[in-house]
């Protein structure tokens, strides 16, 4: 029991190799199903999903009870692309523990990924019962789509900047309800949102939200409006840059060459960042053509990589207007108007390009987030975006080799 506990603590600290060693030692000493379950947790942290599933199956065969192990099996099966089996495992977990919000929330990602918005968006609302999603005011009722003319409604962001940008498309429909709408949004988005929604009061996140009749998360708006795959609101652009900023950037960037804005790194505090952030050097195949200019759209994180580029690769750094600016997203939006293409990791920059209607290529991980859906190159959320998917976990080289081929084809077809 001591080794199993030690393995669990080490895994919670992201010390997965040590956790695996402790759990394996526990198994060798006869720890039984709990030892195999601990091994599975460590293996998941090491992205060894096939071995994780094997350990979970062993724990089940040895009599490990409860819904949690079937939820873990479902997540592992989904990572391996075995979606029908994953769906069945989630159903089994839910049958064993019908009130478990984590099972419903995890299942929602699979359902949405496969395009089942009816079941998926309902299951996705279970996240609001989890302690790490305690946004808004606990005492204020959540808006479920009922008539709210004349009411005061708080709309609040909830997850990352990209999530907020993606769901701002619904804000006009919220205003049409006749409610008095107040939006709580992270500071980096305030200026951009104020420019595009001048009639909506904007507040900081984490304030006192008790003076509202109702509240709703931006991420809940697809559920409130009963969005289905075929009814995703994709009228773009639904954000525009400030004209004076755009003019300043146009003068600064100029018109020479084929101008590609690039963003390679997300916020490292995001738990799954290691899956979506990309080494800057991986972008090198885009720089083979001497007419291509790679222009950094990177703010804050990952800028150190600019000092260690492969031979023949140059990236134009835009400096403090972006990297040290609390309104940097407004600057990036304005800069995008001077670009021919935006190539980004799965970050807020990709969502911003899509919301602005800019041509964009987004590099996404094997088994990506639900929003990119199963097997699609053209995301219904963003009509001007093209998705390039990893053929296997961690394989960015194949993604950028493919991008390089497409870029060469584009260049030749444009008469370059």
Residue 273: domain span: 243-413
CATH of the domain at 383: 3.40.50.2000
Q: Are residues 359 and 256 in the same domain?
A: yes
| Residue 144 resides in a domain | no
Who wins on pLDDT, 78 or 3?
78
Q: What is the C-alpha to C-alpha distance for residues 4 and 403, in angstroms, rounded to an integer?
A: 45
Residue/partner pairs of 330-334 with CB below 8 Å, 24 or more apart: 330/191, 330/192, 330/195, 330/241, 330/242, 330/245, 331/245, 331/249, 332/297, 332/299, 333/192, 333/239, 333/240, 333/241, 333/242, 333/245, 334/241, 334/242, 334/245, 334/246, 334/248, 334/249
> If DSSP states are collapsed to H, E and C, what string results for 214-258?
EEEEHHHHHHHCCCCHHHCCCCCCCCCCCHHHHHHHHHHHCCCCE
The reported pLDDT for the residue numbered 320 is: 81
Cα 140 from chain centre = 27
User: For the chain, what percent of residues have pLDDT higher than 90?
Assistant: 78
> Does residue 174 belong to any structural domain of this protein?
yes
- 224 plus 309 within the same structural domain: no
Q: Are residues 105 and 22 in the same domain?
A: yes
pLDDT at 204: 86
| Number of separate domains in the chain | 3
Q: What is the CATH number of the domain that holds 114?
A: 1.25.40.10
Closest CA to 316 of 262, 258, 246, 256: 262
The count of other CB atoms within 10 Å of the CB of residue 239 is 21
- Does any domain span residue 238? no
Report pLDDT digits (tens) over 221-270: 999 999 999 999 999 999 999 999 999 999 999 999 999 999 999 878 77
Query: How high is the pLDDT of residue 121?
Result: 98
Residue 27, pLDDT > 70, answer yes
Q: Which phi and psi angles does 403 have, rounded to 5°?
A: -60, -45
Beta carbons of 385 and 362 less than 8 angstroms apart: yes
Residue 414 reports pLDDT greater than 80: no
Specify whether 400 is located in the same domain as 289.
yes
Q: Do both 161 and 255 map to the same domain?
A: no
Residues 263 and 408 placed together within one structural domain of the fold: yes
Q: Is residue 146 part of a domain?
A: no
Written as six digits, the tokens of 380 are: 């219904």
pLDDT tens sequence across 351-400: 999 999 999 999 999 888 899 999 899 999 999 999 999 999 899 999 99
The CB-side HSE value for 220 (13 A sphere, CA atoms) comes to 20
Q: What is the pLDDT of residue 415?
A: 67
User: With contact defined as beta carbons under 8 Å apart, do 88 and 77 qualify?
Assistant: no
pLDDT digits (tens, 9 = 90+) for 202-211: 998 877 777 8
| Model confidence band, residue 289 (pLDDT cutoffs 50, 70, 90) | confident
Q: What is the pLDDT of residues 135-164, one digit of tens each?
A: 666 778 999 999 999 999 999 998 789 999
């Amino acid at each position: 029991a001591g080794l199993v506990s030690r393995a669990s603590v080490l895994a919670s600290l992201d010390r997965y190799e040590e956790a695996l060693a402790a759990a394996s030692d526990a198994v060798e000493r006869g720890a039984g199903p709990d030892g195999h379950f601990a091994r599975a947790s460590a293996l998941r942290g090491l992205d060894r999903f096939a071995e994780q599933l094997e350990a979970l199956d062993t724990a089940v065969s040895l009599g490990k009870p409860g819904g949690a192990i079937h939820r873990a099996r479902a997540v592992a099966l989904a990572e391996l692309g075995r979606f029908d089996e994953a769906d069945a495992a989630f159903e089994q977990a839910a049958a064993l523990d019908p009130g478990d919000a984590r099972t419903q929330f995890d299942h929602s990602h699979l359902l949405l990924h496969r395009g089942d918005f009816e079941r998926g968006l309902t299951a996705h609302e279970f996240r609001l019962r989890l302690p790490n999603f305690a946004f808004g005011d606990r005492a204020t009722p959540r808006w479920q789509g009922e008539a709210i003319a004349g009411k005061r409604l708080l709309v609040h962001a909830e997850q990352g900047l990209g999530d907020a940008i993606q769901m701002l498309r619904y804000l006009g429909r919220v205003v049409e309800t006749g409610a008095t709408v107040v939006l709580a949004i992270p500071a980096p988005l305030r200026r951009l949102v104020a420019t595009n929604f001048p009639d909506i009061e904007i507040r900081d996140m984490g304030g006192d939200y008790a003076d509202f009749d109702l509240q709703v998360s931006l991420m809940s708006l697809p559920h409130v409006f009963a969005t289905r795959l075929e009814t995703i609101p994709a009228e773009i652009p639904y954000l525009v840059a400030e004209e004076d900023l755009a003019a300043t950037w146009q003068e600064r960037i100029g018109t020479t060459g084929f101008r590609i804005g690039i963003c390679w790194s997300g916020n490292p505090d995001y738990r799954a960042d290691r899956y979506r952030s990309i080494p800057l050097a991986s972008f090198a195949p885009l720089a083979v053509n001497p007419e291509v200019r790679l222009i950094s759209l990177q703010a804050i994180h990952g800028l150190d990589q600019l000092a260690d580029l492969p031979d023949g690769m140059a990236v134009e750094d835009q400096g403090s207007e972006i990297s040290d600016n609390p309104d940097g997203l407004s600057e990036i939006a304005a800069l995008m108007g001077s670009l021919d293409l935006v190539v980004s990791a799965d970050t807020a920059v990709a969502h911003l390009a899509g919301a602005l209607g800019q041509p964009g290529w987004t590099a996404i991980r094997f088994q990506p987030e639900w929003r990119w859906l199963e097997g699609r190159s053209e995301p219904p959320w963003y009509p001007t975006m093209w998705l390039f998917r990893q053929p296997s976990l961690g394989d960015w080289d194949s993604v950028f080799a493919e991008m390089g081929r497409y870029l060469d084809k584009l260049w030749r077809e444009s008469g370059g």
